[in-house]
Amino acid sequence: MTSSGNAVSAFSTGYRTTRRDLLRGTSFLALAAGASALTGCSLFEESSDVGSTGEKGKGKPAQVMRMGFPNFPVIDPQVITNGMWLALRGVFEGLIAQNPKGSDVVPAVAEKWTVSPDGLTYTFSLRTNAKWSNGDPVVASDFERTLKRLFTPSQASAGGTTMGANSYQAATGIKGAVEFLGGTLTDWSQVGVKATGDHELQFTLANPNPGFLLGLTHPSMLPLHMDSVEGKPKEWQNAGTLVSNGPFKVSKWTQNSAMSLTPNEHYWDKGKVFLSRIDIELQESVATGTATVPYENDEVDIVAIVDADAIRFQKDPTLSKQVRSVPTYSIAYLAKLRSSNPALDDVRVRKALSLAAGRADLAEIGPGLRPGTSLVVDDVPGWDESLALKEDVAEAKRLLAEAGFPDGKGLPTVRILAGVQSPLIDGLIDAWKKNLGIQAKADIVEAGVYVERRWQVQAGDYIGYYFGTFAGLHTWPVMVGVLWSPLDVQKLGLPANIWKQYQQTETNTKLKPAERTKQLEDLLSKNATPQTRQLAELVEKASATRDEQEQLALFKQAAKLRDEQFLYVPLTWGDAMFAVRPTVKGLNLRAAPEFFYFKGISIEKGAA
Amino acid sequence: MGTGFLGYLARRVGRVVLSLVAVSLITFTLLQLAPGNFADIQRISSGATTIGSAGTEDVVNAFESRYGADVPQWKQYLIFMKGAVTWDFGPSYKYPTLDVQEIIATAFPISATLALLSVILALLIALPIGVFAALRQNSPADHGMMFLVTLGHALPGFLSAAFLVLLFTATLHLLPSSGWQGPQNLLMPVLALAIGPAAVLARYVRSSMLETLREEYVTAAFAKGGPRRTVIIRHALRNSLIPLVTVVGPLLASLMTGTVFIEALFRIPGLGLYFATAAASRDMPLLMGSTLFFAVILMVTNLLVDLVYGVLDPRIRADGGGGPRRAGTGSGKDSAGRNGKDKDRGWVRSRRRKLSPPISAQEVQ
């Protein structure tokens, strides 16, 4: 009863109060608005010339290249992120670079070099006019100090650790590098990198390595300005602070959004630097079209295209002329999972599954895919058809029956464990069901579950493979020695119970590094299969061989032997595709993970 | 009310602190239980070549023990929390050059701006729709609008975002597809973020408005002969907005801490992407820091909402004057007991007004 009376009084007398209170309430919102208004000036990217590069490309100044690039958290080339590939395109410059074909090397910071007759010592002469973006000269000790950082696993004080994602390629074969990195060697003077003068740098290798020079074109071999890395461990990668020696420097970086590069005015070869700025859209691949809509809206001049977008571009009469593709290193493959069920321990079963994988159909699934007939891709110099696997469903059926699973009867469901969805997995499962009549199933799990489960011994009747993609330098030492290395193959060939023992030893922190390494080696030498041990011997022999023909023959023999174990099974080889606007001149696509260098690129206005 | 209010505030703040400790413990424990670790996940997600097997284990070990060599997990937690108390969360694993508090300081104003603009836009859309639908309850116009609103509610933000890009960028070429260079980059994300909340708020406005229109003072206002527009806007709408505060507060809080998809799609350097990748990459400091920050924002907003609500609607303070209390404020016995013990304790934890089902006439009397 009183309620209505009060309500009316609130209406008749309390009106002003309500209003004031409401204002008070909204003041909370206003406060928040004010707070953001205060930061308004710095809310957006600071850029004086935003207008000139605005959408539609109107009135953009000459020589600005706009580019889409996958997002990355750091540009430190010693940490594996997409940032290291951007660094390699032209922010930092190594001793040498790749030639336009990507088949050989050309001078960069190093003017010339000599190789000792035994193939173990490389001496580089650095050009005296190479400078950092702050004007400091680039000297040999810069390289030595940078590599010491690379090989020191936990340099938290020196600009962040490499966080377990160290970009060093073990196949580069620098003497003592892997041991120093692993902690078994602590004396830096034993590692084969020495600045023997201000402008002379010497590498000593453990074994002769014909792929060494190409290996030096990898991001992990780029020099860093160690004074700023060590002096400003947290800020050295920031825009404006980053001191680099490549043709470009980072002038602006809005994390997770955009980056701008401008020419390094101290660069030694300024005559070949034509772009006045590179604007980079840092893209997260959240949806189809994330990369291509900006391209079609004339916001970027070059962008990588994949999947449905690539197909659409290829079919479009205008856009198809702007599509450029380059054979690359990306291999989709399977790796056997360890399981308490021994079905896949029988090489006949593994071979049967590989012979009936339907690679030709898999290659039809996506643009730029080819059947992956060996783990070594076919444009590694010296590759020939003898390495190619020939699919044979009849033989697969015979092998399966011989192994005790006629028409797949009795074989547990074969699982494909993966961290991401892939149409290739679905295609493979269909092929197996159709060709062999077996049961197969995709098991897509979260990334953390994936990384953990693929090393475990699966319980019960869970058998199968994990699905992965890989890319690497196109040299035999990398393709046979680093990717699916003899050690990896040996470990994968271990019986399940020995593998458990191996893992326990690996994680046993009570053992000293040297002791642990020895125990692990013992486990391998006692239990690895004869074939995988032979593989290790072949690769070791090949690495130590100086005669190139003999070495090639040994690597090929090893590659063949590895493929025949069917522990790692190649599915497809992928090409990379880009959309490049016709205004972009001098862009040379190479079959390398960074795909091109910025140096030499120019923008030609009016080109259509 | 003075000491009573302060006491109330102290109790609430105390609870916030306790909740934060609970949140941190749960987050940390879950993270320890989650499979995989930062280094392994970083390796597979970077899509690049790795060093292979040699030395990797040691690198991982060295990395994970950055909080000290072989520090047990409970100690890692204490080290983290010790820093957290002084607003020092330490460097992120994934962004090693940035401290977590720096990430928050840079990205929060951006997400907050987006959130604020979206909520304002949502209110601007929701108010007229809600009022109009309420005034024409059960008419075809009402049904039509509620159908649209339900549709808007059902439409996920990422879908409307993609649709907006298709329309304004891919087809009309009016707006840049993404980026963070100026106000032109705000239009699509704000609109995409506002559509869902606008639909929710419109329904709230409608039901709240319907409720208020049935109030006797509104009838009285009409009876007094005031202009229809004045009665509807000044008397009915004003009062029916009060419960909206309880909805807008948490909505604002959740938007302010970042929206993953929208920010990633439009390349907006806000908190959303950091938060999402923290969990996916097992970045302990970033995940802990961001979760605690989110919890603080949510709790403080809720506290503010309760305070504002008390100011807006004095009946909620349950001052024990025998005046009408909202439905669901608690039993009379509870209130009476409190009054018997302590007359100053006017402020109690308010339970927010339930909007659905609307308070009916018999409850009010």
Q: What's the CATH code of the domain at A408? A: 3.10.105.10
More confident position, B88 or B41: B88
Which of B31, B37, B45, B50 is best to mutate for the A interface (most A CBs within 10 A)? B50
Domains and CATH numbers, chain B: 100-276 (1.10.3720.10)
Whether residues A273 and A337 share a domain: the answer is no
Which of A113, A81, A116, A108 has the alpha carbon at shortest distance from A256?
Answer: A81
In a domain, A120, yes or no: yes
In a domain, A517, yes or no: no
Give the strand pairing for A121-126 and A200-204.
Answer: antiparallel
Burial A26-47 (b: 16+ CB within 10 A, else e): eebbeebbeebeebeeebbbeb
Least confident of A397-401, B59-63, B169-173: B59-63
Q: How far is B220 from chain A (nearest CA, A)?
A: 8
Measured CA to CA, the distance from residue A497 to residue A409 in angstroms comes to: 26
Least confident of A105-109, A428-432, B2-6, B139-143: B2-6
- Which of the four pLDDT bands, split at 50, 70 and 90, describes residue B3? low
Whether residues A537 and A586 share a domain: the answer is no
**Chain A: residue nearest B95 by CA?**
A73
Which of A21, A38, A161, A163 is best to mutate for the B interface (most B CBs within 10 A)? A163
Whether residues A177 and A215 share a domain: the answer is yes
Chain A residues in contact with B243 (beta carbon < 8 A): none
Q: Which of A19, A74, A170 sits opposite B97 (nearest CB)?
A: A74
Chain A residues in contact with B178 (beta carbon < 8 A): 281, 283, 290, 294
- Which of the four pLDDT bands, split at 50, 70 and 90, describes residue A606? low
More confident position, A579 or B339: A579
Scan for tokens 């304790």, then name that residue.
Answer: B345
Measured CA to CA, the distance from residue B57 to residue A244 in angstroms comes to: 31
In a domain, A190, yes or no: yes
Whether residues A89 and A161 share a domain: the answer is yes
- Which of the four pLDDT bands, split at 50, 70 and 90, describes residue A585? very high
What is the pLDDT at residue A328? 73
Measured CA to CA, the distance from residue B43 to residue A594 in angstroms comes to: 18
Average pLDDT (A251-264) is 94
Can you read off the two tokens belonging to residue A22?
Answer: 């409401």
CATH value at residue A225 = 3.40.190.10
Residues 42-81 of B with CB under 8 A from A: 42-63, 66, 70
Measured CA to CA, the distance from residue B16 to residue B181 in angstroms comes to: 37
Chain A residues in contact with B62 (beta carbon < 8 A): 153-154, 161
More confident position, A400 or A46: A400
- Which of the four pLDDT bands, split at 50, 70 and 90, describes residue A154? low
Which pTM does this prediction carry? 0.80
Residue A158 to residues A77, A237, A278, B56, B356: CA-CA distances in angstroms? 14, 12, 29, 19, 58
What letter does residue B351 receive in the DSSP assignment? P
Cβ distance B36 to A296 less than 8 Å, yes or no, reads no
**Residue B165: how many other CB atoms lie within 10 Å:** 24
What is the pLDDT at residue B330? 36
| pLDDT tens-digit map of A274-304 | 999 999 999 887 666 777 889 999 999 999 8
Cβ distance B116 to A29 less than 8 Å, yes or no, reads yes
**Given a cut of 50, is residue A114 above it in pLDDT?**
yes
Q: How far is B234 from chain A (nearest CA, A)?
A: 9
| pLDDT tens-digit map of A203-228 | 999 888 878 998 899 998 999 999 99
**Given a cut of 70, is residue A365 above it in pLDDT?**
yes
Task: Let me know how many helices (H) and strands (E) chain B has, helices first.
Answer: 17, 0
**Chain B: residue nearest A473 by CA?**
B49
**Given a cut of 60, is residue B357 above it in pLDDT?**
no
**Given a cut of 50, is residue A34 above it in pLDDT?**
no
In a domain, A519, yes or no: no
Chain A residues in contact with B47 (beta carbon < 8 A): 82, 469, 471
In a domain, A336, yes or no: yes
**Given a cut of 90, is residue A180 above it in pLDDT?**
no
Chain B residues in contact with A54 (beta carbon < 8 A): 176, 181, 184
Residue B145 CB partners (closer than 8 Å, separation 6+): B129, B132, B133, B202
Residues 6-35 of B with CB under 8 A from A: 34-35
Mean pLDDT of chain A: 85
| pLDDT tens-digit map of B103-141 | 999 999 999 999 999 999 999 999 999 999 999 999 999
Give the strand pairing for A457-458 and A338-339.
Answer: parallel
Average pLDDT (B173-178) is 90
More confident position, B341 or B296: B296
**Phi, psi at A241, each rounded to 5°:** -95, -35
Chain A residues in contact with B52 (beta carbon < 8 A): 170, 482, 485, 487-488
Measured CA to CA, the distance from residue A307 to residue A310 in angstroms comes to: 5
Whether residues A590 and A568 share a domain: the answer is no
In a domain, A383, yes or no: yes
More confident position, A22 or B238: B238
Chain A residues in contact with B182 (beta carbon < 8 A): 44, 50
In a domain, A228, yes or no: yes
Chain A residues in contact with B273 (beta carbon < 8 A): 256, 284
| pLDDT tens-digit map of B248-271 | 888 888 888 778 888 888 989 988
Average pLDDT (A404-411) is 93
- Which of the four pLDDT bands, split at 50, 70 and 90, describes residue B226? confident
Chain B residues in contact with A36 (beta carbon < 8 A): 109, 112-113, 116
Whether residues A67 and A12 share a domain: the answer is yes
For residue A253, give its domain range: 4-279+582-603
Measured CA to CA, the distance from residue A283 to residue A418 in angstroms comes to: 24
Whether residues A96 and A40 share a domain: the answer is yes
What is the pLDDT at residue A81? 80
- Which of the four pLDDT bands, split at 50, 70 and 90, describes residue A608? very low
**Given a cut of 90, is residue A547 above it in pLDDT?**
no
Least confident of A174-183, B210-219, B349-358: B349-358
**Given a cut of 60, is residue A32 above it in pLDDT?**
no
Please provide the DSSP assignment of A50-109 as one string: TGGG-GGGTTPPTTEEEEEEE--S---TTB-SHHHHHIIIIIS--SEEE-TTSSSEEESS
Whether residues A265 and A410 share a domain: the answer is no
3-state secondary structure of A502: helix
**Chain A: residue nearest B326 by CA?**
A3
Instruction: Map A116-154 to HEC letters.
Output: CCCCCEEEEEECCCCECCCCCECCHHHHHHHHHHHHCCC
More confident position, B242 or A364: A364
Give how many domains chain A has, as a whole number.
2
Cβ distance A294 to B178 less than 8 Å, yes or no, reads yes
Cβ distance A163 to B39 less than 8 Å, yes or no, reads yes
Whether residues A486 and A597 share a domain: the answer is no
**Given a cut of 80, is residue B161 above it in pLDDT?**
yes
Measured CA to CA, the distance from residue A583 to residue A607 in angstroms comes to: 5
More confident position, B189 or B274: B189
Q: How far is B341 from chain A (nearest CA, A)?
A: 25
Whether residues A587 and A568 share a domain: the answer is no
Beta bridge partners of A96: A107
Cβ distance B55 to A33 less than 8 Å, yes or no, reads no
In a domain, A335, yes or no: yes
Whether residues A428 and A567 share a domain: the answer is yes
Whether residues A475 and A586 share a domain: the answer is no
Element (H, E) at A347: helix A347-355
Q: Does B85 touch chain A (CB under 8 A)?
A: no
**Phi, psi at A335, each rounded to 5°:** -130, 135
| pLDDT tens-digit map of A455-514 | 889 999 999 999 988 776 778 888 888 788 898 899 999 999 999 999 888 877 788 777
